[in-house]
Amino acid sequence: MDAAEKTRENRLRRMLDRRGYTLQKSRARDPGGLTYGGYQIVNTQTGGVDAGWGNANRGFAFSLDDVEAWLEGR
Amino acid sequence: MTKLKLTLPAAVATLSSTDPASSFAADARMTHICTRKLRLFLRVLLLVWAAGSASVLGSSKTLAQNAYITNNDSNSVSVINTATNTVIATIAIGYGPLGVSVSPDGGRVYIGSAGINTVGVIETATNTVIATIPSGPTAGIATSQDGRRVYAANFYDQTLSVIDTKTNTVIATVPGVGVSPFGLAVANGKVYVANWTSPFTVTVVDTATNKVIATIPIASDSNAPGLAASPDGRRVYVTNEIGTDVPIIDTATDTVIGALPLGSSESAMVSPDGTIVYIAGGNHVNGIDVATDQIVVSSDYVGGLFGISVTPDGSRVYAAAYAANAVFAIDTTRGKIIATIPVGSNPLAFGNFIQPRPTFAGIPGTANCYGQSVSALAKQYGGLNNAAAALGYPSVSALQNAIEAYCEA
């Protein structure tokens, strides 16, 4: 991840924090893993993964673009 | 000809049956009035009929169990004939299919569609969707051993839907099954629910009461947690994309009693004889002998593997390769891919997706196995036509083929 992406990730993380959510990045180490490189938004109060994106009913299905779009939709 | 084939063996088998369970009232009355000569005559008649029908059916006894693959991005299910490793049908289904579960008799396939909060029911005889059940944001899905219930993990609702397969309706919604429930397994009269959360837990639901009865701590964290039950229901194996092994739950005590050294894993399935646990993880498939902890299959494949299932004879494993938009058929004796089958976009196939080997009322290897099986089916379903449709066979001939193969096994 380059510096610009990291900055963007941190900015989105802060925005989510302010709204009661936590941005988590998949800890999958195998590049072939389903969630490798993905993000999920967790409701800080319930601990549950918040609504997914597109066809996903799973966690870590977001890209940073998806996270941004999710925030814009709120 | 068809009518003769349908009616004669039922009557003959009833009269010649030695299995009390497959007898019925008419059988009892007829048995009393029949002489030994009449019984002998009817047995001969059955043999003649069976020989005739075999020639009509041809020599092929291959049972073509189909694999049902959920294509998460193309909103469809690809049906693969495992005998030919070709896609024989593509079924349009609700938005975002992920979880899949084939009924124990192979006649129905239940598909969880994430985007529209439904469970779709596919009739395997026709490969068409015959019902769409409003349920919840379904991830994992599993069928009870008797086929009467289907359970759906509602990922965003923290609930479990209980579906009556006779009416195709949700008859209960179990709250508090954990946070972000994902993988499911049914074993020993309980539903096991793997929660995609931190800390990683498996919740246990009693199927008799639909109440949560236990929560089993597994690990500090989980990604894509899956479950696979042993055929005898005594063990449940727990997969975790960021795990270091595969914990084993004893379903008698609902405690973790050990772990298989398989590393991280996306999903698992147990061989039909219960001796080998296969896992798909990222770009590899591993199989381990549960008695010895020895790895018996270990192969790397590029394709991003997720769902996995084993054929009823244990000879092949099918793995959904979501990054390759394909399904790999893997020979379990050599660990080699014997077929790469193109399917839809982003195939995940999370659950048991291969039809089981059919079983019938007769005892394999016995002389009257075929007749007993036909008789029982005719009685249960009101004729073989109805039985074929109910059990997922495209024709009576296909059902007869299956019975013959079963009896000769």
Using a CB–CB cut-off of 8 Å, the residues of A that contact B are 26-36, 46-52, 54-60
> Running DSSP on this structure, what letter comes out for residue B241?
T
Q: Please determine, for residue B38, whether its predicted confidence score (pLDDT) is greater than 70.
A: no
Going across the sheet that includes B66-71, the strands are B66-71, B76-81, B86-92
ipTM score assigned to the predicted complex: 0.89
Question: By C-alpha distance, which of B348, B329, B352, B351 is closest to B340?
Answer: B329
B-chain CB neighbours of A58 within 8 Å are 98, 139, 155, 182, 196, 224
| Least CB–CB distance from B96: residue in A33, A51, A57 | A57
Q: What is the DSSP string of A42-72?
A: EETTT-PBPP--TT--SSS-B-HHHHHHHHH
> Which domains are seen in chain B, by residue range?
2-61+370-408 (no CATH), 66-352 (2.130.10.10)
Which pLDDT tens digit goes with each residue over B144-159?
999 999 999 999 889 9
Task: Compare CB distances from A27 to B112, B158, B223 and report the shortest one's residue.
Answer: B223
For chains A and B, CB pairs below 8 A equal 107
Confidence of residue B402 (pLDDT cuts 50, 70, 90): confident
Which residue in the set A35, A47, A49 is minimally distant from B241, CB to CB?
A35
Each residue's pLDDT tens digit, B104-155: 989 899 999 877 889 999 999 889 999 999 999 999 999 999 999 999 999 9
Strands B97-102 and B350-352: parallel
The 10s digit of each residue's pLDDT in B188-230 is 999 999 999 888 999 999 999 999 999 999 998 888 899 999 9
Helices (H) and strands (E) in chain B, counts: 6, 26
Asked whether residue B297 carries a pLDDT value surpassing 50, the answer given is yes
Count CB neighbours of B19 within 10 A.
16
Mean per-residue pLDDT, B55-76: 69
pLDDT at B32 over 60: no
> What's the pLDDT at B110?
98
Query: Cβ–Cβ of B302/A46 closer than 8 Å?
Result: no
Q: What is the mean pLDDT of chain B?
A: 85
Written as six digits, the tokens of B41 are: 């005559």
CB distance B155–A57 less than 8 Å? yes
* pTM of the complete model: 0.82
DSSP for B44-73, please give it.
HHHHHHHHHHHHHH-S------EEEEEETT
For residue B176, give the H/E element and its range. none
Contact yes or no for B323 and A32 at CB 8 A: yes
Q: Judge whether A58 and B196 are in contact, CB under 8 Å.
A: yes
A26-30, B19-23, B34-38: least confident range: B19-23
Q: What is the pLDDT of residue A23?
A: 95
Q: Which residue of A has its CA nearest to B242?
A: A28
Confidence at residue B24, expressed as pLDDT on a 0 to 100 scale? 37
Q: Which residue of B73, B155, B304 is in closest CB contact with A34? A: B304
